[in-house]
Amino acid sequence: MRAVRLHTFGPAENLRHEEVADPVPGPGQVLVSVEAAGVHLLDTALREGHQGPAPTPTVLPTVPGREIAGVVEALGEGTADGWLGRRVVAHLGFAPGGYAERAVTDAGRLHEIPAGLDPARAVAMIGTGRTALGILQFAELGPGTVAVIPAAAGGIGTLLVQCARNAGGTVVGLAGGPEKTALVAANGADVAVDYTDTAWPARVRDRLGGRDATVVLDGVGGDVARAAVGLLGPTGRHLVFGWSAEGVRGGKGHFVEGVSRSVLGPVMIEKAGGLRALETRALAEAAAGRLDPAVHRFPLAEAAAAHRALESRATVGKVVLVP
């Protein structure tokens, strides 16, 4: 089969599309013929040799990727026969192997893809979707709320805009550049602004007609988040997640006493009743049409280009590789 392998830590060019042996499912596992594989910002950090939240260091050579969707092609010993031939999606945890034409995973990680949901959108919901719903457990969105969402054209940001809109609140979406800003507006944001324009906070205040923001959903940090926090009223809240939350926990970032809160993975998971519960809810929301993930597709052979685009903020929505 063809897969993307990393032999040496470093830049995106180190990702090689090459022929490798098919993986073999072990006891309780399945072999999936991959139709879509998710690309995460964490993948780019692991590629460079940073361990991040991974429990163990990456062993080279490796096939990156932790989110897959496709059809179950073979079963390992002891795996229930009912999985064979089913359309499935799975998050592999910190086990690599997704950037490939075939991948193995434990049967316990599988979800059947709901009818009407294509593999790329299923991949988006199994990782990015579950994260968005985990964050929203703390957002307290509803009529009267004014939510500011940095990186609103990204995978998580796109879904957060939709959720805030569905809850009946006012949505302020921030994005870099006029093209992304137009997409944020088309996605349902009441106010969509280009944060590369230094005057954007004043433009937001003008559009809000004097109202204060009630919550900032921040996965980016930096100057944009600092300016967004400045839009909050006296009882406003700043929820920090993802890499931004990791930076704050490590003593960096922009925590504001009495305003900011880190919403890290373990906190989300515990409140939701487990990762699987979040994944199930995320897939159900997409299947029902209440959430519609944006997907930016790249051919599997162009994984290096996908990484470069993600790192340079040139992508919109969830980045997905298609074999």
Residue where a domain terminates, one of 241, 262, 283? 262
Joined together, the tokens standing for residue 149 give 């969402």
- Assess whether pLDDT exceeds 80 at residue 258: no
Handedness of CA 11, 13, 19, 23 (dihedral sign): positive
* Strand 2-6 with 15-19, pairing: antiparallel
Residues 101 and 162 in one domain: no
Residues 247 and 302 in one domain: no
Helix (H, G, I), strand (E, B) or coil at 299: strand
Joined together, the tokens standing for residue 174 give 């921030």
61 located within any domain: yes
274 located within any domain: no
Calpha distance 221→223 (Å, rounded): 7
Residues 298 and 218 in one domain: no
Residues 41 and 114 in one domain: yes
pLDDT at position 248 is: 44
pLDDT at position 254 is: 54
Range with lowest mean pLDDT among 59-73, 171-185, 231-245, 295-309: 231-245
- Assess whether pLDDT exceeds 70 at residue 256: no
pLDDT at position 255 is: 56
Residues 207 and 309 in one domain: no
Residues 228 and 151 in one domain: yes
End-to-end CA distance of the chain: 10
Calpha distance 124→295 (Å, rounded): 7
Q: What average pLDDT does the segment 190-213 reach?
A: 96
177 located within any domain: yes
> DSSP state, 266?
H
132 located within any domain: no
Residues 171 and 214 in one domain: yes
**Numbers of helices and strands, H then E, in the chain:** 11, 15
Residues 195 and 236 in one domain: yes
Q: pLDDT grade, residue 56 (50/70/90)? A: confident
282 located within any domain: no
What would the pLDDT profile of 129-157 be if each residue is shown by its tens digit? 999 999 999 999 999 999 999 999 999 99
| Cβ neighbours of residue 321 closer than 8 Å, sequence gap 6 or more | 4, 36, 37, 38, 39, 65, 98, 99, 297, 298, 299, 300, 302, 303, 306
Residue where a domain terminates, one of 212, 243, 262? 262
Calpha distance 169→157 (Å, rounded): 15
Q: Residue 239 is part of a domain; what is its CATH number? A: 3.40.50.720
Q: Residue 75 is part of a domain; what is its CATH number? A: 3.90.180.10
pLDDT at position 264 is: 64
- Assess whether pLDDT exceeds 90 at residue 53: no
Residue where a domain terminates, one of 262, 282, 302? 262
- Alpha carbon separation from 172 to 19, 153, 192, 284 (Å, rounded): 46, 12, 6, 26
Joined together, the tokens standing for residue 46 give 């692991």
Q: What average pLDDT does the segment 46-64 reach?
A: 89
Calpha distance 190→171 (Å, rounded): 5
Q: Give 256 or 210, the one with higher predicted confidence.
A: 210
Domains in the chain, number: 2
- Assess whether pLDDT exceeds 80 at residue 22: yes
CB–CB of 158/131 below 8 Å? no
Average per-residue pLDDT in the chain?
A: 92
Residues 118 and 149 in one domain: no
Q: pLDDT grade, residue 178 (50/70/90)? A: very high
Residues 157 and 96 in one domain: no
Report phi then psi at 120, rounded to 5: -65, -40
Helix 200-208 × helix 222-229 angle, to 10°: 30
Residues 185 and 237 in one domain: yes
Calpha distance 293→291 (Å, rounded): 6
Nearest to 229 by CA among 244, 242, 243: 244
What would the pLDDT profile of 77-119 be if each residue is shown by its tens digit? 999 999 999 999 999 998 999 999 999 999 999 999 999 999 9
pLDDT at position 220 is: 85
Q: What average pLDDT does the segment 295-309 reach?
A: 98
Calpha distance 130→271 (Å, rounded): 13
82 located within any domain: yes
- Scored b (16 or more CB within 10 A) or e, 54-70 reads eeeebeeebbbbbbbbb
Calpha distance 1→27 (Å, rounded): 22
Helix (H, G, I), strand (E, B) or coil at 287: helix
286 located within any domain: no
pLDDT at position 261 is: 73
In the chain, the percentage of residues whose pLDDT exceeds 70 is 93
Which domain range does residue 233 map to?
A: 139-262
Joined together, the tokens standing for residue 176 give 């870099």
Residues 150 and 225 in one domain: yes
Q: Give 248 or 277, the one with higher predicted confidence.
A: 277
pLDDT at position 150 is: 94
Calpha distance 79→193 (Å, rounded): 50
62 located within any domain: yes
